[in-house]
Amino acid sequence: MKTLFFKDIPQAFIDAESEAEFRPQNIRSGFFDFKNYYEQLTDINGPKCFISGRKGTGKSAYIYKIKEKESGFIMNLDRLPYKELKKTYDQTYQSHLRYSSIWKLIIITNLIDNIKAEDITGDFWGMSLNSLKKTLKDIGFGNDTNTNIKVASKRTYSFQILKQSAEISSDFVNSIISINDFIDKLYDSLFDLKFKKSFYLLIDGVDDILSQVPDKSKMSDILSSLITVIYDMNLKSKRNESNFKVIMAIRSDIWGSINGPDMNKRAQTNRLTLEWISHNEQEELEKLLEQRLLVSKNIKDFVSNKSEDYQLWNNFFPIEMGVGHSKRTKSWTNFLEHSLYRPRDVIQFMEMARVEYPEHSSLSQSEVKHLISRFSKEYFFDEMRNSLEGFVDQKILFNLPEALHIIGRGSFKLHEFLNAYKKINPNFSDQDIKDILTTLFDNGYIGQRNSEKDSYSFKHKTPYQTLNYANSLVIHRGLYAAIAINN
């Protein structure tokens, strides 16, 4: 093939679940693991079991890649009935452990339901597993997590586990005989099982808790309990040589909102953080793009006789673009400056180009600028709004576009941001306005600089900085088109 067209670019989706369902070849052949996190996560006896990062950095891609290559299943929490779950706390535990029992129950019932007898070593334990499944079914537990949580609120169970019978109450708050006794029996039985080969329970969809649990203290208790349970299960599995592991993907901003005495230990020992910055250059993102484009047979054939340093981006886009009156920059750099340096941004931009210009082999500067404008209006702004959901006051969030439009593209100070909101509604509190400004900064949508001599820095480029309210601030240029600011 002598010429490539945008229609040769493989179709893509910005969420891993859709890719696994509709374009599994993107995960099978287009997955790019530049930090060797896959090996660390799948080390069955290794400590790493949490993968975190900003929204859109590819955490879920690891979950679905592990599912594609290894034995196991995905437990998605995006439809979990947190309203029911919140009722199941145990006051006998410290706050950061009050939801441990219900999380154990959710994980165990999902795990047992997805294990087959042939996954287990030895005929005896295969029969025991079937007995355990029957016990759970008789009580009312099955493969539906929502139902399991509701069943957990029932008063009394009669059951038999491995020839041991019991009758217990399940009132988490007031009962003398707690459902914990039942869960402990399940728990002990689980770690007696030995898997023939490594088996993984993969947890995704934690974000949904932001919309369902507005109380940040309660959200912290719920997730702290979950993290503690995952750590404890993996430790027991290792010590008992059970050969299974629980792995969870979680946004770094959600992780940062969780309180608990052991959270720093878990972060240092058990968590991997996914970022795409190397020496302040986006080398990894460019390699990711190449890997995904090569999923297409036409593109793979096209580059087969090219040099190793050939860049596919430059085949579709101008190498350089004019920015401002006389300045020129690489088109790749120009696009990245309108993004948050995330795989999701690159995937969405290429998909928009594929759909709008299928018969084009390359784009002009004006076409690239048009595409970046669409990217801002149809994608980037909504990504910002979704990132803020659950962290800021809803009325403040609703009026954010107008406030940013009032601010404009130039630098501004804290008092100007406060005034912009007060102009919309004088009753907005200063603290709520400062909260959304801080959250915008933490997510990379607002930059700061210490002096007029410095350039603006954004947190998606330098992750460890904190917002100084005395600094000059600026809106991310990827938002300009969406909020009608001239670029």
CATH of the domain at 405: 1.10.10
Residue 64 belongs to some domain of the structure: no
Residue ending a domain, among 239, 261, 283, is: 261
Residue ending a domain, among 230, 261, 292, is: 261
Residue 14 belongs to some domain of the structure: no
* Number of structural domains in the chain: 2
Residue 81 belongs to some domain of the structure: yes
Q: In angstroms, how far apart are the furthest CA atoms of the chain?
A: 82
Residue 113 belongs to some domain of the structure: yes
Query: Which amino acid type is present at position 360?
Result: H
Residue 426 belongs to some domain of the structure: yes
Query: What is residue 280's predicted lDDT score, i.e. its pLDDT?
Result: 52
Residue 254 belongs to some domain of the structure: yes
Per-residue pLDDT tens listing for the chain (487 residues): 578 999 999 999 999 999 999 999 999 999 999 889 999 999 999 999 999 999 999 999 999 999 999 999 999 998 888 888 887 777 777 878 889 888 988 898 888 888 888 888 876 566 667 777 777 777 777 667 777 777 666 544 444 444 444 444 444 444 334 566 777 777 777 887 889 999 999 999 999 898 888 888 999 999 999 999 999 999 999 999 999 999 999 999 999 999 989 999 999 999 999 988 765 557 889 999 999 999 999 999 988 877 777 789 999 999 998 877 678 899 999 999 999 999 999 999 999 999 999 999 999 999 999 999 999 999 999 999 999 999 999 999 999 999 999 999 889 999 999 999 999 999 999 999 999 999 999 999 999 998 877 889 999 988 889 999 999 999 999 999 999 876 5
Query: Exposed, middle or buried by CB within 10 Å (0-12, 13-18, 19+), for 371?
Result: buried
DSSP 456: P
Q: Residue 249 forms beta bridges with which residues?
A: 51
Residue 44 belongs to some domain of the structure: no
Rounded distance, CA 334 to CA 332, Å?
Answer: 5
Return the closest-CA partner of residue 258 out of 47, 30, 452, 97. Answer: 97
Query: What is residue 157's predicted lDDT score, i.e. its pLDDT?
Result: 44
Q: Which tokens sit at 153?
A: 């609120």
Rounded distance, CA 153 to CA 146, Å?
Answer: 12
Query: What is residue 131's predicted lDDT score, i.e. its pLDDT?
Result: 73
Provide the b/e sequence for 213-245 (b: ≥16 CB within 10 Å): beeeebbbbbbbbbbbbbbebbeebbeeebbbb
Pair (257, 402) in one structural domain: no
Q: Domain residues for 447? A: 392-479
Residue 331 belongs to some domain of the structure: no
Rounded distance, CA 185 to CA 183, Å?
Answer: 5
Residue ending a domain, among 261, 289, 306, is: 261
Q: Coil, strand, or helix at residue 116?
A: coil
Pair (74, 220) in one structural domain: yes
